[in-house]
Structure 1
Amino acid sequence: MPTHLTVIGGGLAGLTAAITAAESGARVTLHESHHTLGGRARTAEGAYRTNEGPHALYNGGPHWAWLKQRDLIGPLAPLPPIEGTRLRLHHQGKLRRTPPLAMVKLLRRKSEQAPVELDFMTWATGEVGEEGARAAAHYLAVATFHHDPGSLSARFAHERLRRATKLPPEAHYPRGGWGSVVDRMATLAWNLGVRVETLSRVDTLAPFAAKGPVVVATSLPAARHLLQDDALRWESARTTLVDIALTSRRGDLFALSDLDRTGWIERFTTQDRSLAPAGQELVQGQIPLAPEESKADGVARADHLLDLGFPGWRDRLVWRRDAVSNGRTGAVDLPGTTWRDRPAIDRGDGVYLAGDQVAAPGLLSEVSFNSALEAVTLALTPTRLDLKSA
Structure 2
Amino acid sequence: MRHITVIGGGFAGLTAAISCAEAGAEVTLYEAHHTLGGRARTADGAYATNEGPHALYNGGPHWPWLAARDLIGPLARIPLREGARFRFYQDGALRRTPPAALLRLARHRDAPVDAPFADWAAARVGEAGMRTAATYLAVVLFHHDPGQLSAAFVQERLRRNVKLRPEARYVRGGWGAFIGRMTRYARTLGVRVETATRVDSLDALPAGHGPVIVATSLAAARKLLGDDSLVWDSGRTVLLDLALRSRRGDPFIVSGLDVPAWVERFTAQDRGLAPAGEELVQAQLPVAPDEGKADGLERAERLLDVAFPDWRDRTLFRRAALAGGRTGALDRPGTTWRDRPAVRRGDGLYLAGDQVAAPGVLCEVSFTSALEASALALGDGRHVGSERSPLDLNHS
Identify the TM-score tier after normalising by the shorter chain: over 0.9
Measure the CA separation in 2 of the matches of 1:84 and 1:380.
47
1:221-241 superposed Cα distances (whole Å, 9 cap, x missing partner): 000011110000000011100
Q: How far does residue 361 in structure 1 lie from its aligned partner after superposition?
A: 0.8
Summarize the alignment of residues 134-149 of structure 1 with structure 2, pairs less than 5 Å apart.
134-149=131-146
CA distance in 2, matches of 1:159, 1:61: 12
State the 1:337 CA deviation: 0.4
1:161 matched residue in structure 2: 158
Name which of 145, 151, 155 aligns with 2:148.
151
Deviating above 6 A after TM superposition, structure 1's stretches of 4 or more consecutive aligned residues are none
| Pair 1:246-2:244 in alignment | yes
Q: 2: distance between equivalents of 1:85 and 1:4?
A: 53
Larger displacement relative to structure 2 (344-353 or 91-100): 91-100
Equivalent in the alignment of 1:322: 320
Q: Larger deviation: 80-89 or 134-143?
A: 80-89
The answer for the alignment partner of 2:301 in structure 1 is: 303
TM-score scaled to structure 1, two decimals?
0.95
The alpha-carbon deviation at position 102 of structure 1 amounts to 2.6
Q: 1:255 aligns with which of 253, 268, 274?
A: 253
**Which string of whole-angstrom CA distances, capped at 9 and with x for unpartnered residues, describes residues 26-53 of structure 1?**
0000000000000000000000000001
Distance 1:255 1:230 in 2: 40
- Residue ranges of structure 1 left out of the alignment (5+ in a row): 386-390
How far apart are 1:99 and its partner, in Å?
2.0
> Shift of residue 101 of structure 1?
1.9
Indicate the RMSD between aligned Cα atoms, in angstroms. Answer: 1.5
Paired residue type of 1:87: F
For residue 367 of structure 2, what is the amino acid of its counterpart?
Answer: F
Give distance in 2, aligned partners of 1:270 and 1:4.
Answer: 45
Structure 2: distance between partners of 1:285 and 1:37: 25
Runs (5+) with no aligned partner, structure 2: 384-396
Q: Distance in 2 between matches of 1:245 and 1:382?
A: 49
Select which of 221, 224, 227 maps to 1:226: 224
Cα offset, 1:86, TM superposition? 1.0
Query: Percentage identity across aligned positions?
Result: 66
What CA deviation, in whole Å up to 9, does each residue of 1:329-354 have, x standing for no partner? Answer: 00110100011100000000000000
Aligned equivalent of 1:20: 19
Residues 315 and 19 of structure 1: is their aligned pair in 2 closer, same or farther, counting only changes over 3 Å? Answer: same
Write the distance in 2 (CA, Å) between the matches of 1:307 and 1:368.
Answer: 37
Give the CA deviation at 1:55: 3.1
**Are the aligned partners of 2:255 and 2:263 in contact in 1 as well (CA < 8 Å)?**
yes
Give the CA deviation at 1:82.
7.5
Q: Quote the offset at 1:382 in angstroms.
A: 5.0
* Matches of 1:78 and 1:219, distance apart in 2: 31
User: Could you list the per-position Cα deviations for residues 259-290 of structure 1 after superposition, in whole angstroms to 9, with x for gaps in the alignment?
Assistant: 10211111011100010001100000000010
For the pair 1:182 / 2:176, whether they are aligned, the reply is no
| TM superposition shift of 1:383 | 8.9
Q: Deviations over 1:138-175 (max 9, x none)?
A: 01112101011111100000110111222211111110
Instruction: Give the aligned residue type for 1:123.
Output: W
Q: The residue matched to 1:319 in structure 2 has which SS?
A: strand
The answer as to 2:343 corresponding to 1:342 is no
Q: The residue matched to 2:309 in structure 1 has which SS?
A: coil
Aligned-partner Cα distance in 2 for 1:383–1:290: 42
Residue of structure 2 equivalent to 1:388 = none
CA gap of 1:217–1:172, structure 2 versus 1, over 3 A, is same
Q: Offset of 1:93 from its aligned partner? A: 3.4
